[in-house]
A and B are shown apart, each in its own frame.
Chain A
Amino acid sequence: MDEALVRSLTPGVLTILVRRGADFAAAEDAVQDALVEAFRVWPAAPPRDPKGWLVTVAWRKFLDQARADSARRRREDLVEDEPTPGPAPGVDDTLQLYFLCAHPSLTPSSAVALTLRAVGGLTTRQIARAYLVPEATMAQRISRAKRTVSGVRFDRPGDVATVLRVLYLVFNEGYSGDVDLAAEAIRLTRQLAAAIDHPEVAGLLALMLLHHARRASRTAPDGSLVPLAEQDRGRWDTRMIAEGIGILQSALARDRLGEFQAQAAVAALHADAPTAGETDWVQIVEWYDELARLTDSPVVRLNRAVALGEADGPRAGLAALAALDDSLPRYAAVAAYLHERDGDPDTAARLYAEAARTAPNLAERDYLTRQAARLNAARRR
């Protein structure tokens, strides 16, 4: 049984229940129950019409629950009095679900959890494992999220930018537990790109594909981090890179540049270089200029300083760095790298050790400690 295929039916089934008059929270629970049952019985008895099967079972679960809640009167009122909302013109059901699950009234962690469950069809247990929290905690987070959006009209379009931020958060969580969140984020973004024609959705999809294509080369067998310049480019997924570049090019042709397209353009320039030495740093600096114009983010300026250090030499990079706040995350790591390239291993070693102390994760900390150790060991010889 193809689990991803089954899960891809989730948004369609859920919106059918909502259209029949079920409220979102109850419908979502019913779909989740139906999915769990599908995973239990389908391997032995696969249905001829999987979506029809899910709709039937989910609707039955919904009715059972409505009765059990002694909410019978309410249900009858719902079904009899309220007209079933008709399709909103030009707005896809699946798209509405994305908007609802990424609603601005939700906190980022709630929006992520709700999206993975209601759009992605993951079980609460899978989501909990992926985020390393107890299942009961995740169940609470999801039910609170559903209460938060319970009053939101289902037929109003939302802001695509909020949806993209949620999907990007999922992508960056990477891989832990039995669910590959990066792959799941790509699947959900692909599904979104099919539902809405928007250059930034395409830009995010391209960015994800271009990053994901390098994943196998990003860590050594012992789990340590391999920086871009030292990655084995033969292990990059060229098919995925080609797809990402194709999607990006048609998005850029629309001439509505946004932050994800610009980030994808940087990723594409890296992916395009046969060797690290052949990277087109001049163009990368230009894209960072665009990004700085679009976002005015200090993190972008930090990345730009690295690119400038490659394009115009470490002195130029250090000069750009001097204009930035030294409390920025990864500032010390960038400074260390540029000082080493500038021929000052003592300063670089000190800065690498400092960067390791403030590293945001273990893999980076170990990498930075190793860099400091490498320079210190060379100096002792």
Chain B
Amino acid sequence: MLLEIKELSVEFQSIQGKLQALKNVSFSMDEGEIIGVVGESGSGKSVTALSILGLLEKNAKITQGSVFYKGKDVLRLGRKEQQQLRGKEIGMVFQEPMTALHPTMRIGDQLAGVIKRHRQVSSKEAAQLAIRSLAEVHIDHPELVAGKYPFELSGGMRQRVVIALAMSAPPTLLIADEPTTALDVTIQDEILKLMKELSVKRGTAIMFITHDLGVVARLCNRVIVMYAGEVMETGITSDVLHRPAHPYTRALIGALPDWADPNEPLSAIPGETPNLFNRPAGCVFADRCPQALPLCREDRPALEAYQDNQEHRVACWVR
């Protein structure tokens, strides 16, 4: 097992009080696996990633749980060790590529800098490796692009560069938080293919955080469905998408206009996401759930195997 998250809970301290952003989140990842963490805004998917990376803001507090990376609890590591882990073992790609790029440094120099930090190579070799890594993310004329500044590139190109940067170490785990959301559909497609290819070629595990079930279907072996800071359902992608066990997952798939008959209204989820300052006692989805039982409002269901499939787990009383 590469990564194991156990009962992770995170709280934000804000003016309005304490907000529980994550509650008892548990899941694990194997080496080389591509896992999708899917959820809407406020589901806690990004907070999960930031907790693993040790990048939570100051007002956030991990109140409970542990994150084991290769058997080591990363939450108990010092700042410096965490930083080292981020540089060497765990790569990151975020939605906005400009945040990861130095605005006034040439692309080639940025890449060469990272490569030199991780490998014993001369500057000349590093420059060459930089060009090669640009070629690996399918950038045409990598020598030319290496001499450019970030602002001279398009959004898709920048995201490729960021992936090249993240992969140059190369990492064992890549955490990608909505890396294609800001990109055009056709470019999004290419980036997804690229990530899959790199994962297969290098054996890199990818945690892909997204709101887009379509992206999950195309890229991920397994999927974690999150809602309001809790894991609702996990399993092999095709299992979860074909036979969604949780009413929330079903609703999410049903709300997509992809198959809908234009003459019929879309099946939308009624209501609003719950107030995370004051969590309900029972299931967080109960208020919006068409199948909710009285029990659902009283007791929180645990994540348990669905129809005896140990891989496919769901947190729901209505099974």
Please determine whether chains A and B interact with each other in the same assembly.
no
Task: List chain B positions with a Cβ less than 8 A from chain A.
Answer: none
Task: List chain A positions with a Cβ less than 8 A from chain B.
Answer: none
